[in-house]
Structure 1
Amino acid sequence: MYQLTFDTQTFIKQHWQKKPVVLTQAFIDFIDPIAADELAGLACEEEISSRIVVTKKDGWDVIQGPFEDYDQYGESNWQLLVQAVNHWYPDAQPLVEAFRFLPDWRFDDLMVSFATPQGGVGPHIDNYDVFIIQGEGERRWRVGDIGNHRRRGGDANSPLVDDFEPIIDVVLKKGDVLYIPPGYPHCGETINLALSYSIGFRAPSQQELLTQLADSLIDSNTGHKRFTSINETNQPGLVSDEQQRGIMQLLAELASQPENYQTMLGKLLSQNRFELDICEGEAPLNSQDLLDAIEDGASINRIGGLKVLRLENDQQKRLFINGEVYPLVNTASNELELLANAFYIDNQAAAKLCKTAEITQFLAQLINQGMYYLTE
């Protein structure tokens, strides 16, 4: 169990998406949820996203995984980074749970890094919020202020920056946490062999929202309204300001009508960027099989990283899971709330939920799809 020592609501008011902060000893007696050799083993797997960053005098080399051997990289100046460790390593989930004071739809993944002395990825800017938790070892972190920073090589789209003046310069020790909002340049340098944990939160961009909205309108065969106007200019080659605003108002109308955007948002926000560890059983489970298992003492778990979301003031009774819609028209609001919030449904709660046929069928379906599984 990982318990944060700072007041989360005060943090949200004072720092969340506002300014970076060092949270000294945010975890007391912090225990690494994964060992370095276990992390290295995950990076051997084809389906797991991993990379090694090698620090050089003139920059950094990035090598994409999977990896079979690490001897060639030596004892310093490199760092292994493995994405979505919470998807593949269940013992990492309790660390994620400590940060569920922020909504699941924002949560991206738990990235774990093993770094040798002088290992790092260089000064860079992220477009998401990140909590960096220090495990074994020590790393020095510098964080600069938000502003116009010169991008490496003149590439405006590169996350790398040439350098910055630090407003934070700190050596993180075991249990310390550094929070960095989007847009703040930062750079980590390893002092001795170290394990670090990055918990990232991101929101969709305008590009992602418009792309998803267009796909949703096509799928539902809606969004056919066209612009009409009364006044026309006397210049055939001119689009008036009034007409420009009127045309764009068509998009604003879509964004103000829940029937047009709710399904799209639920699907988009419940999707994962990284592959999930789907665990389909050998034989399909029916409702009676599930009831029998619960009667024998079984509990129900989500797989790591799975997002189960509901929308406030949704026009329909449903859940959004991994980009799909699951209607639950006969399920009570408090039961929908429990299903959306609970990563682990203990035996007593499972027995209570499965008193209704709809929820029993729903949970059996998710188990058969490999997104939930039974535990003793």
Structure 2
Amino acid sequence: MTKPHPLLGKLTADEFLANYWQKKPLLIRGAIPNFEPPIDGDDLAGMALEEEVESRLVIGNEWKLEHGPFDLDRFKTLPKRNWSLLVQGVDLWIPEVADLLARFDFLPPWRKDDIMVSYAEDGGNVGPHFDYYDVFLLQGFGQRRWQIGQWCNENDKLNEKSQLKVLKHLDVTEEWLLNPGDMLYLPPMVAHHGVAVGQCTTFSVGFRAPAATEMLDDLATELLSRDITPKHLTDPPLTAALANKPISKAYVRQVKELLLEVLDDEQLLAEWFAQFMTEPKYPSLVSMTEECRSAALVNLSDDDKQQSIIHYVNGQKQET
């Protein structure tokens, strides 16, 4: 009998993936028993002083947004409550934070994005919102009250006064108070709102979910860089009467077929995807962060009996 996964309470990894992953939220009490956060608010503030580190402050009930790097004096002038400091990619700078990623061994490593750590004074929050990606919210020290609500889409109304994408309405369906070591999993598009109860930190383990437009843009760049004879658009059957007519459905079908023909090369698509998904989060900082994103790919051009593996690291194919 398969044992429960250490991070998922009473669930096995397969049970979680089948019933919760990208399907519904899950609260896991004591996901990491006796959790001792490897970083605190002072550490985060120190990181936020550095130009290379991506950081933000969110202040007050109108969620005023400020981007780092910050001066030390800025932290001395913050109010006593109702503000949050968020630092992206903390796993790239603090090895003990990066070690947390190993606990998520039931998911492909190339799907992982980064660990954002937030520090908040009492009442601090970033407003009710939804994300386009999966996220695990691990409570560090202190407590945070989480509310979850409706499934959202791009048409949900936002608070026009906020610099953040804050939802205008949150229809609360569940509410929990998280303590150190508790963890909340949220699939994409689920409305949620977390408010600090006293001082607290939260570790947000996010997973990459690139938009189709982002992928198409990157794929087009990759195709242009390759020594491939390009295919060109040809006309569907024409008549003189069509010369002054709007673009016909036949032309649209012709364009679609041309583009699909490009995408039909599975080996090319697989190689591009492995390259794309292993691109470093901050390419210009790799020498400092020593970031290493990797993936293995089955060579689809091999026959079934002798399939080889291609390895990609930081967007580069590794020669063997």
**How high is the TM-score relative to the length of structure 1?**
0.74
**Residue in 1 that maps onto 2:224:** 218
**Residue in 1 that maps onto 2:262:** 254
181, 184, 189: which one aligns with 1:178: 184
Shift of residue 16 of structure 1?
0.6
Q: Distance in 2 between matches of 1:28 and 1:276?
A: 37
> Structure 1, residues 10-54: CA drift from partner, whole Å, max 9, x if none?
111111111112112212111112122222221121101011111
**Residue in 2 that maps onto 1:45:** 50
Pair 1:191–1:132, CA change in 2 (3 A): same
Pair 1:62–1:104, CA change in 2 (3 A): same
Identity %: 32
Secondary structure of the equivalent of 2:274?
A: helix
Amino acid at match of 1:312: V
Give the conservation status (yes or no) of the 8 Å contact 2:299–2:309: no
**Residue in 1 that maps onto 2:249:** 241
Shift of residue 3 of structure 1?
4.3
Shift of residue 230 of structure 1?
5.6
Matched, 1:91 2:104: no
**Residue in 2 that maps onto 1:21:** 26
Shift of residue 184 of structure 1?
1.2
Runs of 5+ consecutive residues of structure 2 not aligned to the other structure: 302-307
**How high is the TM-score relative to the length of structure 2?**
0.86
The correspondence of residues 293-304 of structure 1 with structure 2, limited to 5 A, is none
Q: Distance in 1 between matches of 2:101 and 2:286?
A: 19
Secondary structure of the equivalent of 1:109?
A: strand
Runs of 5+ consecutive residues of structure 1 not aligned to the other structure: 281-302, 329-376
**Residue in 2 that maps onto 1:202:** 208
**Residue in 1 that maps onto 2:305:** none
> Structure 1, residues 73-110: CA drift from partner, whole Å, max 9, x if none?
13211111110000001111221111132112211100
Amino acid at match of 2:182: D
Give the conservation status (yes or no) of the 8 Å contact 2:145–2:196: yes
> Structure 1, residues 252-280: CA drift from partner, whole Å, max 9, x if none?
12222124323321221111333575457
Q: Distance in 2 between matches of 1:55 and 1:134?
A: 22
**Residue in 2 that maps onto 1:231:** 237
Amino acid at match of 1:266: A
Pair 1:313–1:260, CA change in 2 (3 A): closer
**Residue in 1 that maps onto 2:298:** 312
Give the conservation status (yes or no) of the 8 Å contact 1:21–1:179: yes
**Residue in 1 that maps onto 2:71:** 68
Matched, 1:324 2:316: yes
Q: Distance in 1 between matches of 2:295 and 2:284?
A: 16
Shift of residue 240 of structure 1?
3.2
Amino acid at match of 2:255: I
**Residue in 2 that maps onto 1:151:** 158
Give the conservation status (yes or no) of the 8 Å contact 1:271–1:323: yes
> Pairwise CA RMSD of aligned residues?
2.4
**Residue in 2 that maps onto 1:336:** none
More deviation, 126-135/318-327: 318-327
Q: Distance in 1 between matches of 2:300 and 2:60?
A: 49
102, 116, 131: which one aligns with 2:121: 116
Give the conservation status (yes or no) of the 8 Å contact 1:149–1:164: no
Q: Distance in 1 between matches of 2:122 and 2:283?
A: 31
**Residue in 1 that maps onto 2:304:** none
Give the conservation status (yes or no) of the 8 Å contact 2:53–2:88: yes
Matched, 1:265 2:273: yes
